[in-house]
Amino acid sequence: MSHARRSQPQASADTASSLAILEGRLGYQLEPALLVRALTHRSYAYENGGLPTNERLEFLGDSVLGLVVTDTLYRANPDLPEGQLAKLRAAVVQARTLAEVARGLGLGAFVRLGRGEEGTGGRNKASILADTLEAVIGAVYLDQGLDAADELVHRLFDPVIERSSNLGAGLDWKTSLQELSAAESLGVPEYVITEDGPDHEKTFTAAARVGGETYGTGTGRSKKEAEQQAAENAWRSIRAAIDGATGGETGA
């Protein structure tokens, strides 16, 4: 799927090597200046004389991602009404999910950040990772076309799309856990939050408790991110217990 690299002047050896690593993970070789722009956060651009930022590419990539995900959900779920399809799409393209995919690519290591964002843990911020991933998708679309962008989105997001189909509400794990615990008469989920680290780089840990029992924990850079991860782990734990009990009854 990869195209031969076009000639491009004046990229440093370190920059070219770094871009090559990312391109290997993406599966595409892109016009270097375009890829560099996709990785340029506004904080870096402002600190370096007003360089072009990745925000226009982010805008484009958001639409490309939305199109591919919407098309996939539409074709895979012929009986779902529009409202449920919209919820499933929201579960796939929300910033937290995009950030998880970006972390899987190690994208944070390649983002060009200003000193302020660098000093406050910007490389692991969900919003920055999500925006950068959208910008990279936009760059692939511009440089390689829609077929390539479609292939990349499917490769990165098909596991997320499959996972989202397990969500009871099709929107977020906290809602799904609440629905599941209510259906099983387990009680209302509660979240116990602890935090660690300095103010500018806190890590939050959440424990999802249902009926006084902890079913899952999660960590994140925000309380919301930690709670969502804890809810997902709790949902999976309870679901596995239910499925195991059902399987046992069936096999009896």
Catalytic residues: 62, 134
Tell me how far apart the alpha carbons of residues 149 and 210 are, in angstroms, rounded to a whole number: 41
Tell me how far apart the alpha carbons of residues 39 and 35 are, in angstroms, rounded to a whole number: 6
Most distant CA atoms of the chain, gap in Å: 72
58 is in an annotated binding site: yes
Cβ neighbours around 242 below 10 Å, total: 13
Helix axes 223-251, 173-183, angle to 10 degrees: 40
Give me the torsion for CA of 55, 57, 62, 67, rounded to 10°. Answer: 160
128: left (phi over 0), alpha (psi -120 to 50) or beta: alpha
131 is in an annotated binding site: yes
Tokens 């031969």 sit on residue: 4
Backbone dihedral angles phi then psi of residue 138, each to the nearest 5 degrees: -60, -40
Angle at 197 between CA 196 and CA 199, to 5 degrees: 110
Tell me how far apart the alpha carbons of residues 193 and 208 are, in angstroms, rounded to a whole number: 9
Q: For residue 212, which of 176, 187, 234, 231 has the smallest C-alpha distance?
A: 187
| Binding annotation | 58, 131, 134
| Binding annotation for Mg(2+) | 58, 131, 134
